[in-house]
Structure 1
Amino acid sequence: MIPLKFRTLASVLALCSASVLAQESPSYGPRLEGFEYPWPVQQYQFTSQKQALEMSYLDVAPVGKANGRTAVFLHGKNFCAATWEQSIKALSEAGWRVIAPDQVGFCKSTKPAEYQYSLAGLAANTHALLASLGITNIDLVGHSMGGMLAIRYALMYPKEVAHLALVGPIGLEDWKTRGVPYVSVEQWYENELKTSYEGIKRYQMDVYYADAWKPEFERWARMQAGMYLGSGKELVAWNQALTYDMLLHQPVVYELPQLKVPTTLFIGAHDKTALGKGFAPTEIRPTLGNYVELGKQAAKTIPNATLVEYPDLGHSPQVQDPARFNADLIKALNP
């Protein structure tokens, strides 16, 4: 039996530790209220599926001489428009107008309790936003889920995309045919409710940053974790569950040969992203998310594609090494 004085000391230390953790782990509202973006957030109001919705977005003007071009950045599933901060700044300084939306169901946009999510629907929402701004020709940059969405957008509106840049895009393989079993929305929801900062950081170190952690990564991990600590935790988790179901059952990999726009793939060799990997049989898991091979295969499959590989980086090169990535992105957009 532990003596009372030691049990008391342990209790005090545990309370202090919990207090410190609470101070370090801010909570945010269901629409990321309390987390500040680096530029003013604007709202596109529209109706979809008989619901009044708002799509938050950044509209950043070029700094210095404008080049007359517009870049659109599409965020990943565990990311937001603000995560593109360094890339938005770099392209703005190089003359681009930059639009970076938060998709419906994510970050500062509406999170409907009932919504039939589809990649085509999100692409159509984004297209409507751009039309409302008078934008008809874009350089389209998508990361992770945003890469999968960017592929769908380019397939739907090929004449309006000057260049397609895919950064660690998911969807380069069909997880179902590779052995990931059906996972119900309820299972995804229960899994999402377990989300914690500690789990987010472990996953990001392993997949996003090649087992390296820098202080500047902390902000984005806290951003994601904060929505699961706030009053809208259940709504956030439910929308995340619905979008997992969308991604697993709406593959784009079979349509890659149909892309008609110049495309650049940016692939980190340490990327291991694969939806549903944790639900797959143990023997299948190591075969999923092999981005060294997936990147090469996609570059061969997509007409007029160029592959940029980062042997030392992971899933998020734009965050892990923004200077190098941004220089490569600008070079790709100015062939």
Structure 2
Amino acid sequence: MKGLSFLILSSGIVLTPALHAEQPPTYGPHLEGFSYPHPLKRHEFSSQRQPLFMGYMDIAPTDKANGRTLVLMHGKNFCAATWEETIKVLSEHGYRVIAPDQVGFCSSSKPEGYQFSFSQLAHNTRALLQSLDVEEVTLVGHSMGGMLASRFALNYPESVEQLVLVNPIGLEDWQAKGVPYASIDELYQSELKTDFDRIKGYQQKVYYDGDWKPEYERWVTMLAGMYAGEGKEIVAWNQAQTSEMVFTQPVIHEFDKLEVPTVLLIGGKDRTAPGANRAPKEVAERLGDYPELGRQAAAMIPNATLVPFPELGHSPQVESPDVFHEALLRGLDG
């Protein structure tokens, strides 16, 4: 009979009907089972005495090539696949687009023991580009990817034509502002509790100012699927390690040393501030003020242009693609 949540057989056994269609999907530790918008390639290399690989997409222009290569750097709670619409727009405007997953994230290696640092990830990314014979790029970094793109530009300025930072985290030094340190072991225990509802709740509150749209669900499902899969422990461990990296390796203090033209695309309703949940209330309330943080960062960077999105949050490329891409293309044109 339709509508019954269970069936009771004459033997007394209770059978729960299959609900597979309603269950969120699970993915392997390297996002096995998730469909990327373009063919996923693999860059294999050795780092810290172990074999590793980076998954990446390399998309040729679909219109007349303009000779420029853009590298899209994902955030901590995102993957290269999240750039799907941005890749389409950029390739249609003549750009070659390379979108890697960093070691420890998404389709790339999940090493058990690895000293994560932004300099190491920048070095890995530069080696990937060298393997593709790419000498000069424009970096587009979102969220944590903004911290990585900044470090890349600081370490290898000769390889960077332009820097675009999309709601980068690290526009403030949380530890210096009074956020307590959390060990990797503590962070790991917290990461093990991660699931679809926790990811969605956090993103809805912090990223999108309480709003939610159905198109956001895919990216929550992408992340939650790795935490629900057979590789949950190593996924959680790498996430804990990289959370500690984000907290202890600020780049804001070196913004005045950036030599490349920089565009800051800042959603004003963003309130992202790693560690705010463990900070005293009076400290937490002062964190993540992106309108002010964007202005301060633009003043620090020698050749910076600030483009505010007052009504958007942490992920303008997901929340309002048309508005974001119009601003991005304008910024790329200088």
Fold shared, TM-score > 0.5 on shorter chain: yes
Residue 211 (structure 1) shift: 2.1
Q: What is aligned with 2:333?
A: 334
Q: Deviations over 1:17-39 (max 9, x none)?
A: 99658734111000000000000
Q: Taking structure 1 as reference, are residues 283 and 98 closer, same or farther at Cα in structure 2, changes over 3 Å only?
A: same
Question: Letter of the aligned partner of 2:179 in structure 1?
Answer: V
Residue 152 (structure 1) shift: 0.2
- Residue pairs, 1:10-89, within 5 angstroms: 20=19, 23-89=22-88
TM score, norm. by length of structure 2 = 0.94
1:142 is paired with a residue whose SS is strand
Higher normalized helix content (fraction of residues): 1
Aligned pairs, how many?
325
Question: Letter of the aligned partner of 1:186 in structure 2?
Answer: D
Q: What is aligned with 2:304?
A: 305
Question: Could you tell me whether the CA contact under 8 Å between 2:5 and 2:16 is conserved in 1?
Answer: no
Runs (4+) off by over 3 Å: 9-12, 15-22
* Percentage of identical aligned residues: 58
Q: Deviations over 1:128-149 (max 9, x none)?
A: 0000000011111000000000
Question: Could you tell me whether the CA contact under 8 Å between 2:255 and 2:301 is conserved in 1?
Answer: yes
Residues 279-288 or 184-193, more deviating = 279-288
Q: What is aligned with 1:262?
A: 261
CA distance in 2, matches of 1:192, 1:221: 15
Q: Deviations over 1:249-268 (max 9, x none)?
A: 11101000000000010111
- Residue pairs, 1:134-213, within 5 angstroms: 134-213=133-212
Residue 46 (structure 1) shift: 0.3
2:285 is paired with a residue whose SS is helix
Question: Letter of the aligned partner of 1:151 in structure 2?
Answer: S
- Residue pairs, 1:199-278, within 5 angstroms: 199-278=198-277
Q: Deviations over 1:89-109 (max 9, x none)?
A: 100000000000000000000
Q: What is aligned with 2:124?
A: 125
Residue 199 (structure 1) shift: 1.3
2:75 is paired with a residue whose SS is coil
Residue 10 (structure 1) shift: 8.5
Residues 201-210 or 36-45, more deviating = 201-210
Q: What is aligned with 1:290?
A: 289
Q: Deviations over 1:73-122 (max 9, x none)?
A: 00000000000011111000000000000000000000000000000000
Question: Letter of the aligned partner of 2:273 in structure 1?
Answer: A
Question: Could you tell me whether the CA contact under 8 Å between 2:139 and 2:162 is conserved in 1?
Answer: yes
Residue 207 (structure 1) shift: 2.0
Instruction: Give unpaired runs (5+ residues) of structure 2.
Output: 8-13
Q: What is aligned with 1:4?
A: none
CA distance in 2, matches of 1:18, 1:224: 27
Question: Letter of the aligned partner of 2:242 in structure 1?
Answer: T
Q: Taking structure 1 as reference, are residues 21 and 200 closer, same or farther at Cα in structure 2, changes over 3 Å only?
A: farther
CA distance in 2, matches of 1:284, 1:164: 31
Q: What is aligned with 1:319?
A: 318
Instruction: Give unpaired runs (5+ residues) of structure 1.
Output: 1-8
Cα RMSD over matched residues?
1.8
CA distance in 1, matches of 2:60, 2:282: 49
Q: Deviations over 1:161-194 (max 9, x none)?
A: 1110000101111110111111010110001011
Question: Could you tell me whether the CA contact under 8 Å between 1:299 and 1:307 is conserved in 2?
Answer: yes
Q: What is aligned with 2:10?
A: none
Q: Taking structure 1 as reference, are residues 102 and 287 closer, same or farther at Cα in structure 2, changes over 3 Å only?
A: same
Question: Letter of the aligned partner of 1:56 in structure 2?
Answer: G
